[in-house]
Amino acid sequence: MSIRPAPASLTCAVCGDDVVDAGYLPATDENGRYRPRTDDAVCGTCGFNDVGTMGCAPDLDAVTDAGDDDVLLYVERTAEGFDVVTVKR
């Protein structure tokens, strides 16, 4: 699964910190290629503690206004940027 354009960095929309290890990134699914909505990224800590429900990962509609083709990606930082770990519709 690829993110195009692949973000080199992400900033959490909730706390303003850089996403240094893992987080949630809304994106539009374009036939298996994901166009990220980087302004709505959420770090892992805020995703579980402030956006998700009682220690659970957030849902897409908790992070952003979703369209029909939108998904919530759980991403992890790599040396090259971010890799998609899971996709939540």
Which among 35, 39, 44 has a CA at the least distance from the CA of 9?
Answer: 39
- What pTM did the predictor assign? 0.94
CB 37, CB 3: distance < 8 Å: no
Give the position of tokens 């892992």: 44
**pLDDT for residue 72 is more than 80:** yes
Between 89 and 41, residue with greater pLDDT = 41
Given a cut of 80, whether residue 54 has pLDDT beyond it is no
> For 36-52, what is each residue's pLDDT tens digit?
999 999 999 999 999 99
